[in-house]
Copies of this chain bind each other. A is one copy, B any other.
């Protein structure tokens, strides 16, 4: 078993937590000064360990192992959702550092914008596998404030830098440690989860256009109320999605923006962000047919017109059997009976890396399942335990 320094691992996590600290969590949106500070902090840690650090034109930080292979790749993302938790992403990156520090032949990576602050999302892991075009970078904007991605990259000092591509054949596999972001482990009294596959997120935008008008002068019969059409369509989806979904599917309306959003004005426009997730393509396709049918039915019934746009449609990723077997064996040796296999309901960088090499993920429990919120947390003893499992699994898989 490799000599994992779990104290140092926990200290690194606590140090990184101070960058962009917000209540007990962090606020490090992609390319913000806080995010860039965390990337510089990471490069210093990489250099200390003897890795060769670099940052590329999309913000990916890479620490290259200088010794002989076969190599592993390990990491995650380092930016956070707005006012969110300290471990989401950061945990996997710092776990990568701990593997390299233990002397394992590991390249460490922190991808950029897994959290999707910018249109497209997963910019870093998509860029490193050659899935992100210059044209998409030209088009993409910040989803919160509309800043063009090019401007954000320039402000972060990344304009003009080349984008790193993974070296074909260099890596035997990618390990990503991550918090569960749910309550399945906690609910079952378990301390580690070996991930079997990662759901795909199909993200949609529904734009409804009616006619902005005075809320008193316009009779109910005359109205083309885009907000009301939005409520009816979303209520229809609430009814119909259960008929189309799979056992573990999720679907979420993250935003409903009514324009202009004033008390006495009939909304002329409604802008909706809707997504669903599943591990099976067949289920995803069934849910898309359901969504399209509901939008079509809305357009038959309503006087406000709904338009559906696919924002992103990822492919579900299955984890590698040999890597899962290494994680199973490590978990059973270090935490006998206190672990399980489970799918990942959340999207992760590993789903893109899976297109070019075998991948596996290890989940730590999330206290109360809280995630994408500053109160997100995991017990330190669970973090340390999972770090030891990951180290053991990495060694087992390298020898396999």
Interface residues of A (CB under 8 A from B): 81-83, 115-116, 143-144, 180-183, 199, 201, 203, 212-220, 222, 225, 227-228, 230-232, 234-235, 238, 248-258, 260-268, 273, 275, 277, 311, 344-347, 366, 369-373
Could you say which residues of chain B place their CB within 8 Å of the CB of A182? 214, 217-219, 222
Q: Which residue of B lies closest to A235 (CB)?
A: B235
In the complex, which of the residues B82, B181, B238 contacts A216, with contact meaning CB atoms closer than 8 Å? B181
Could you say which residues of chain B place their CB within 8 Å of the CB of A82? 260, 262
In the complex, which of the residues B217, B263, B344 contacts A273, with contact meaning CB atoms closer than 8 Å? B263
Could you say which residues of chain B place their CB within 8 Å of the CB of A83? 260
- Tell whether, in the assembled complex, residue B225 and residue A252 are in contact, meaning their CB atoms are under 8 Å apart: yes
**Distance between A289 CB and nearest chain B CB, rounded to angstroms:** 19
Q: Which of A183, A217, A230, A373 has the most chain B CB atoms inside 10 A of its CB?
A: A217
- Tell whether, in the assembled complex, residue A369 and residue B235 are in contact, meaning their CB atoms are under 8 Å apart: no
**Distance between A20 CB and nearest chain B CB, rounded to angstroms:** 16
- Tell whether, in the assembled complex, residue A81 and residue B373 are in contact, meaning their CB atoms are under 8 Å apart: no
Given contacts A181-B214, A228-B238, A369-B222, contact A254 B250 (CB under 8 A): no
Could you say which residues of chain B place their CB within 8 Å of the CB of A273? 262-263
Q: Which residue of B lies closest to A371 (CB)?
A: B214
**Distance between A121 CB and nearest chain B CB, rounded to angstroms:** 8
Could you say which residues of chain B place their CB within 8 Å of the CB of A248? 219
Report the separation of the CA atoms of residues A179 and B1 in the bound assembly, to the nearest whole angstrom.
81
When all copies of this chain in the complex are counted, the total is 2
Ordered nearest first, which 3 A-B pairs have the shortest CB separation? A181-B217, A216-B346, A214-B371
Report the separation of the CA atoms of residues A216 and B351 in the bound assembly, to the nearest whole angstrom.
14
- Tell whether, in the assembled complex, residue B372 and residue A214 are in contact, meaning their CB atoms are under 8 Å apart: yes
Could you say which residues of chain B place their CB within 8 Å of the CB of A234? 231, 235
- Tell whether, in the assembled complex, residue A253 and residue B227 are in contact, meaning their CB atoms are under 8 Å apart: yes
5 A-B pairs with CB atoms under 8 Å apart are: A203-B263, A217-B366, A219-B250, A227-B254, A231-B238
Report the separation of the CA atoms of residues A371 and B275 in the bound assembly, to the nearest whole angstrom.
35
Given contacts A238-B232, A255-B258, contact A217 B266 (CB under 8 A): no
Q: Which residue of B lies closest to A375 (CB)?
A: B212
Could you say which residues of chain B place their CB within 8 Å of the CB of A253? 227-228, 231, 258, 267
Given contacts A222-B182, A238-B231, A369-B222, contact A215 B262 (CB under 8 A): no
- Tell whether, in the assembled complex, residue B215 and residue A277 are in contact, meaning their CB atoms are under 8 Å apart: yes
**Distance between A364 CB and nearest chain B CB, rounded to angstroms:** 12
Given contacts A116-B264, A203-B263, contact A369 B255 (CB under 8 A): no
**Distance between A171 CB and nearest chain B CB, rounded to angstroms:** 26
Could you say which residues of chain B place their CB within 8 Å of the CB of A347? 216, 264
Could you say which residues of chain B place their CB within 8 Å of the CB of A262? 81-82, 143-144, 254-255, 273, 372
Could you say which residues of chain B place their CB within 8 Å of the CB of A230? 256
Report the separation of the CA atoms of residues A257 and B270 in the bound assembly, to the nearest whole angstrom.
11
Could you say which residues of chain B place their CB within 8 Å of the CB of A220? 249-251
Given contacts A225-B252, A254-B261, A260-B82, contact A372 B219 (CB under 8 A): no
- Tell whether, in the assembled complex, residue A264 and residue B252 are in contact, meaning their CB atoms are under 8 Å apart: yes
Report the separation of the CA atoms of residues A2 and B273 in the bound assembly, to the nearest whole angstrom.
59
Could you say which residues of chain B place their CB within 8 Å of the CB of A266? 252, 254
Q: Which residue of B lies closest to A374 (CB)?
A: B212
Report the separation of the CA atoms of residues A320 and B261 in the bound assembly, to the nearest whole angstrom.
35
- Tell whether, in the assembled complex, residue B250 and residue A215 are in contact, meaning their CB atoms are under 8 Å apart: yes
Could you say which residues of chain B place their CB within 8 Å of the CB of A250? 215-216, 218-220
- Tell whether, in the assembled complex, residue B345 and residue A218 are in contact, meaning their CB atoms are under 8 Å apart: yes
Report the separation of the CA atoms of residues A144 and B261 in the bound assembly, to the nearest whole angstrom.
9
Could you say which residues of chain B place their CB within 8 Å of the CB of A201? 216, 264
